[in-house]
Amino acid sequence: MVRAQLPVLPPIPKSMASASLLAYLIVSKFADGLPLYRIAGRLARL
């Protein structure tokens, strides 16, 4: 029996955000308590 690979779909349709980016944003915002402007500053330095 041969299995076909599942198609890789983005978590949010028509977006460029990967699952790992969304996970990073959620953890930074809610678990670490960082304001969005600090998260944006971190991402701008990448």
pTM listed for this prediction: 0.71
Between CA 46 and CA 36 the distance in angstroms is: 16
Q: Which mean pLDDT values do the consecutive 10-residue runs of the chain (46 residues) have?
A: 85 90 95 94 92
Residues 11, 22: contact at Cβ < 8 Å?
yes
Residue type, 35: P
Determine the pLDDT at residue 30: 96
